[in-house]
């Protein structure tokens, strides 16, 4: 008798009148909002402007969704094409099926377009949003729980996932690989945050660290899954993809650290110009006040600061008076000669 397990939802859809609220889509949307919110905080801390992350996300998110769906449909084409299949199902993204590899790849293209429109270096933007993406993935993985998909091999562990009878699945208790990946993504985000603070990662290395760390976990989690997938040399295709991308990410970190050490000083030129304009306006106000003070009685602090500091010593008198000091002239005070030398 199983005393403990994780139950699966009886349905992945809740209807509010004619409006269906799907758990999978809800998790994706919440993940996107969290990514934009936290990415914005990191971008501002790096010296960028508020709202820039959201503006670029307008390009990156749609591209990422399309890329993720394309990768899934291409690598699992047998689910949508062939005898007894309906190709229209390939468009039903709400039923699940987003490949993170395609989402990141095409999402990066969208981010690149958004960055170019604002004159922002893509690597700096990627570094800022790297842990935010990992948090978004952690949330989005719970969409698989609603759809009862992407589980692992049968197990009797206390945290086993209960799966009910359905299309292409058998009732039983399985490894909750969606939960494993969700927790791994949280750990990946925390790792990137720590490493970025400790080593001041720049030029895309924080993003590469996120990619490498995620791939390391995805490889063993993918190996546990039992859902239908293509195999190459006995391993699932996504395992090979994770290993290849991991190697590329590590190589990028090493090469980038040698070629471009340190971190970008400027991540958003518009923010720097905005700050410079603000300082100029502030200085201009001070100059205007100074001019107004100069037209007064001459006894204001501005007048004192604007007076020639050597005028009194040149005349040999006391400060603020035109009367020479005979004692100092007779003694040939060195302070007077020093003032003359400075002029």
Three-class SS of the chain: CCCCCECCCCCCEEEECCEEEEHHHHHHHHHHHHHHHHHHHHHHHCCCCCCHHHHHHHHHHHHHHHHHHHHHHHHCHHHCCCCCCCHHHHHCHHHCCCCHHHHHHHHHHHHHHHHHHHCCCHHHHHHHHHHHHHHHHHHHCHHHHHHCCCCECECCCCCCEEECCECCECCEEECCHHHHHHHHHHHHHHHHHHHHHHHCCCCCHHHHHHHHHHHHHHHHHHHHECCCCCEECCEEHHHHHHHHHHHHHHHHHHHHHHHCCCCCCCCCHHHHHHHHHHHHHHHHHHHHHHHHHHCCCCCCHHHHHHCCCCHHHHHCECCCCCCECHHHHHHCCHHHHHHHHHC
Give the pLDDT band (50/70/90) at residue 2.
Answer: low
- Angle subtended at Cα 11 by Cα 6 and Cα 16, rounded to the nearest 5 degrees: 130
Q: In the chain, pLDDT over 70 holds for what percent of residues?
A: 79
Give the pLDDT band (50/70/90) at residue 3.
Answer: low
Whether residue 141 is annotated as binding a ligand: the answer is yes
pLDDT in tens, 30-55: 999 999 999 999 999 999 999 999 99
How much is the pLDDT for 75?
86
Give the pLDDT band (50/70/90) at residue 94.
Answer: confident
How much is the pLDDT for 227?
81
How much is the pLDDT for 272?
74
Give the pLDDT band (50/70/90) at residue 81.
Answer: confident
Buried b (16+ CB within 10 A) or exposed e, 31-49: bbebbbebbbebbbebebb
The residues near 329 (Cβ < 8 Å, ≥ 6 apart) are 316
Higher pLDDT: 148 or 305? It is: 148
pLDDT reading at 133 higher than 50: yes
pLDDT reading at 233 higher than 50: yes
Give the mean pLDDT of the chain: 82
pLDDT in tens, 253-301: 999 999 999 999 999 988 777 766 655 444 444 444 444 444 444 443 3
- 53: its two tokens: 């992350």
pLDDT in tens, 199-215: 999 999 999 999 999 99
pLDDT reading at 313 higher than 50: no
CA distances from 107 to 139, 267, 320 (A): 18, 20, 70
Q: Which residues, in sequence order, are bridge partners of residue 236?
A: 231
């Amino acid at each position: 008798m199983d005393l403990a397990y994780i139950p699966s939802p009886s349905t992945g859809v809740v209807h509010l009148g004619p409006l269906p609220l799907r758990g999978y889509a809800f998790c994706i949307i919440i993940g996107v909002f969290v990514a934009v919110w936290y990415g914005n905080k990191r971008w501002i801390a790096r010296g960028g402007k508020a709202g820039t992350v959201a503006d670029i996300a307008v390009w990156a998110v749609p591209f990422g969704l399309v890329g993720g769906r394309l990768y899934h449909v291409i690598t699992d084409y047998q689910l949508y094409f062939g005898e007894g299949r309906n190709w229209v199902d390939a468009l039903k993204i709400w039923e699940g099926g987003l490949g993170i590899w395609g989402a990141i790849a095409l999402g990066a293209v969208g981010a690149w377009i958004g960055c170019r429109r604002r004159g922002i270096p893509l690597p700096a933007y990627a570094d800022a949003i790297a842990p935010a993406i990992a948090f978004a993935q952690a949330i989005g993985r719970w969409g698989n729980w609603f759809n009862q998909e992407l589980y692992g091999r049968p197990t009797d562990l206390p945290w086993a996932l209960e799966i009910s009878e359905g299309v292409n699945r058998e009732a039983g208790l399985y490894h909750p690989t969606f939960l494993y990946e969700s927790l791994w993504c949280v750990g990946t985000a925390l790792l990137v945050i720590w490493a970025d603070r400790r080593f001041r990662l720049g030029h895309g290395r924080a993003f590469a660290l996120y990619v490498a760390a995620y791939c390391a976990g995805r490889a063993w989690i993918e190996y546990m899954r039992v859902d239908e997938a293509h195999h190459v040399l006995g391993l699932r295709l996504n395992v090979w993809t994770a290993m290849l991308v991991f190697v590329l990410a590590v190589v990028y970190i090493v090469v980038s650290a040698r070629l471009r050490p340190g971190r970008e000083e400027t991540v958003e030129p518009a923010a720097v110009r905005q700050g410079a304009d603000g300082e100029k306006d502030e200085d201009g106000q001070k100059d205007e006040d100074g001019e107004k003070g100069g037209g007064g009685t001459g006894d204001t602090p501005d007048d004192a600061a604007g007076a020639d500091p050597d005028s009194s010593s040149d005349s040999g008198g006391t400060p603020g008076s035109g009367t020479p000091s005979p004692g100092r002239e007779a003694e040939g005070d060195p302070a007077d000669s020093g003032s003359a030398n400075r002029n």
